[in-house]
Structure 1
């Protein structure tokens, strides 16, 4: 098996230590510890409970578990009866009727191998069910954080709208005492119109996102959704200690498929051996009326032992060849899946680092932009205020706030991906 080591450390802590583990350890950030996380957990449970695809996989798993009982059963018992139209005469009397019972028994160990094969098949279904659960969780989390991004942006626009109202009021007063012009008022009104336009567009995007999350929860109508408005990226990045993603259910599915094919090969080998038949014939004999002796009319009991020998074994050799080809197919698919998961892992880690960098940058930009805004407003007490610069600062503040929110959303979305891969 190919072992690929994937290491990740916090760029904030250069003195980190990486400890080697035998299994994948992912200390990913749980976003609901910093916000209304219980609600997110409830949404995940609700989506899993109502998801029809998950129910279908659960039914498939239940059916595969029941197949273990089927695999452990013997072939049907053959029971027959016959009546002699032309009665054959024997020394003890004429044969009237015959009853037959026969039970075929597979070669020693065949039934056990079949049960083990069926059990491995149920393990495959268990892993497929786990994959679906994880994908549903990932979808809910990502839609949840996208909705946070939109609603947080909406709050920022509301604050900007209030600030513009304050600036318009200041400008109107400035016009009265010749410290501002009507052009300044018009520019502020234009900025407010553009902000209203953004708010209306955002309402539609929020409605679409809420509909998507409600559909994922399989709710009827548009039930209200509780989304936090105070998410933040923690100061310290948790250190990731990874060996590999070999315990991800996607890869375990291929491992179980390989084991299943190995066990099917064992079953095929057993079935190519003779099967044993145990039987019993019972013949009803009529008494001879003209003779008197001790065994007169004694019924015939004949135990039987038979063997079913597969003289033509072409189908068994063909099955064996099919299993070998299928094992090669499983191996190649597992390699492709592992590569995809590792690429997804590295991409998620890098994206989360990028989100943190962007978040820190926008925090600094916001602080400096607010300082510049404060300086401009303080000048209003002594000189004519430059509303052109005020508008520029406000646009910068809006851009920085939006990028900060996007960074937070990206951080937690990538955390959701890492949780999926753990």
Structure 2
């Protein structure tokens, strides 16, 4: 009975450990792009920094349109009462005490302009935050595609390495029977050594890509990541029409949106510079205390005199120049984005066509060539060099297939960065 109970305990512990390991494996991100993007939204420090900057810019709106704090000034008049007493700082013992409560009031419309400028700058900061996220998402998608290519390349290299081991055995059998030269066996071994060296380089590059991905996710460099399982489906060619994508980019690209808000903020700043031609006001109430009683009330009104016209004209010219600079920056950003859009659409289509050609034509031809070369070598009709060439052709065909798929994903990520949204 005790043995049965002990066995049950061991079984429960083993099942629990297996479940924990399975759950740990499930929570590792990296199998899909979506899991990585979801993690990066919370962990990427660049995106977090821009979000906080956008929040800070939003908090500047209220103080920008608020009145300045009022000021209180106290003046003790005749603190010696004509020399009849020693100096005193008590309001009840001086000749009189003047209390001046003042409020600065900007010229009509200035507060509204300052608030509108702050609102536009907050919207621009939000656009830059979204732009940062688009950049981060593009890097994650690109790195994921590179990881996919690298993992498949490693698998392909190991597959070809196994093939070379079989070819070496065939060469050894033929050499033992006096049907082939020893050079064939040596060349097969050299080819295997070369592939093992490639595997070392691929493993090193894989480590670097994993480290880069963890940095994008805001995780420790050595944190585990699941292997990429597959690539996202490519959009249909009808969705890659340049004219429609250009309209979407102009309307939704976050960096263009930020530049538009920058232009509007510069225009409002220009209007504010012209408003500075008019004086600001200060009004105040002045109770006058004599002994212990307030016996007199005064009102005050103050304006600043805008005499420094050359300084104001310079500020106005500066504001006009900033408007022109913002418009030029917007145009430059737009031109670059649209050029990148056209380039990436073309390269995506080229990658798609290359992958289709490789899959439908080149790869079957390479497989047939390898089979024919292998059969010919076994019967002595072709030499080992021809067999190696056939092996290299099929490897290159499969590598081109993987590379074109990864390249299409990279171009898709760039298009989505320009659009500011997924296709």
Relative to the length of structure 1, the TM-score reads 0.79
| Residue 177 (structure 1) shift | 4.9
SS at match of 2:412: helix
| Residue 414 (structure 1) shift | 0.5
Paired position in structure 1 for 2:391: 394
Paired position in structure 2 for 1:338: 334
Q: 1:266 aligns with which of 271, 289, 302?
A: 271
Q: 2:325 aligns with which of 322, 325, 329?
A: 329
Q: Distance in 1 between matches of 2:232 and 2:76?
A: 89
Paired position in structure 2 for 1:294: none
Q: Distance in 2 between matches of 1:144 and 1:237?
A: 23
Task: Write out per-residue CA displacement over residues 160-206 of structure 1, whole angstroms, 9 at most, x where no aligned residue.
Answer: 11112222233334445555454433332222222222222222222
Evaluate the alpha carbon distance shift between residue 304 and residue 165 of structure 1 in structure 2; reply closer, same or farther with a 3 A threshold: same
Q: Distance in 2 between matches of 1:255 and 1:362?
A: 45
Evaluate the alpha carbon distance shift between residue 38 and residue 116 of structure 1 in structure 2; reply closer, same or farther with a 3 A threshold: farther
Q: Distance in 1 between matches of 2:368 and 2:405?
A: 23
Unaligned runs of 5+ in 2: 1-28, 83-93
State yes or no: 1:104 paired with 2:104. yes
| Residue 87 (structure 1) shift | 5.4
Paired position in structure 2 for 1:163: 163
Do the aligned residues in 1 keep the contact of 2:144 with 2:228 (CA within 8 Å)? no
Aligned residues: 373
Q: Distance in 1 between matches of 2:264 and 2:378?
A: 81
SS at match of 2:32: helix
Higher relative contact order structure (alpha carbons within 8 Å, sequence separation ≥ 6): 1
Q: Distance in 2 between matches of 1:275 and 1:382?
A: 102
Q: Distance in 2 between matches of 1:202 and 1:56?
A: 34
**Matches for 1:241-320 after TM superposition, within 5 Å:** 241-244=244-247, 245-247=249-251, 248-285=253-290, 299-320=295-316
Worse-superposed segment, 44-53 or 262-271: 44-53
Q: Which has the higher helix share?
A: 2
Worse-superposed segment, 399-408 or 42-51: 42-51
Task: Write out per-residue CA displacement over residues 312-364 of structure 1, whole angstroms, 9 at most, x where no aligned residue.
Answer: 33333221110111111122222222221111111111111221222123221
Evaluate the alpha carbon distance shift between residue 308 and residue 232 of structure 1 in structure 2; reply closer, same or farther with a 3 A threshold: closer
Do the aligned residues in 2 keep the contact of 1:276 with 1:307 (CA within 8 Å)? yes
Q: 1:40 aligns with which of 33, 41, 47?
A: 33
State yes or no: 1:407 paired with 2:374. no
Worse-superposed segment, 128-137 or 161-170: 161-170
Do the aligned residues in 1 keep the contact of 2:266 with 2:326 (CA within 8 Å)? no
SS at match of 1:227: coil
Q: Distance in 1 between matches of 2:336 and 2:386?
A: 49
Unaligned runs of 5+ in 1: 1-35, 89-93, 288-296
Paired position in structure 2 for 1:372: 369
Worse-superposed segment, 411-420 or 326-335: 326-335
| Residue 256 (structure 1) shift | 1.1
Evaluate the alpha carbon distance shift between residue 383 and residue 230 of structure 1 in structure 2; reply closer, same or farther with a 3 A threshold: farther
Q: Distance in 2 between matches of 1:306 and 1:405?
A: 77
Relative to the length of structure 2, the TM-score reads 0.79
Worse-superposed segment, 328-337 or 408-417: 328-337
Do the aligned residues in 1 keep the contact of 2:287 with 2:294 (CA within 8 Å)? no
Indicate the RMSD between aligned Cα atoms, in angstroms. 2.8
| Residue 382 (structure 1) shift | 6.5
Paired position in structure 2 for 1:78: 71
Do the aligned residues in 2 keep the contact of 1:144 with 1:227 (CA within 8 Å)? no
SS at match of 2:114: helix
Do the aligned residues in 2 keep the contact of 1:87 with 1:96 (CA within 8 Å)? no
**Matches for 1:186-205 after TM superposition, within 5 Å:** 186-205=186-205
Paired position in structure 1 for 2:355: 359
| Residue 119 (structure 1) shift | 0.8
| Residue 378 (structure 1) shift | 4.7
Q: Distance in 1 between matches of 2:209 and 2:418?
A: 25
Evaluate the alpha carbon distance shift between residue 235 and residue 69 of structure 1 in structure 2; reply closer, same or farther with a 3 A threshold: closer
| Residue 81 (structure 1) shift | 2.1
Q: Distance in 2 between matches of 1:47 and 1:231?
A: 18
Worse-superposed segment, 178-187 or 333-342: 178-187
Q: Distance in 1 between matches of 2:386 and 2:307?
A: 95
State yes or no: 1:68 paired with 2:65. no
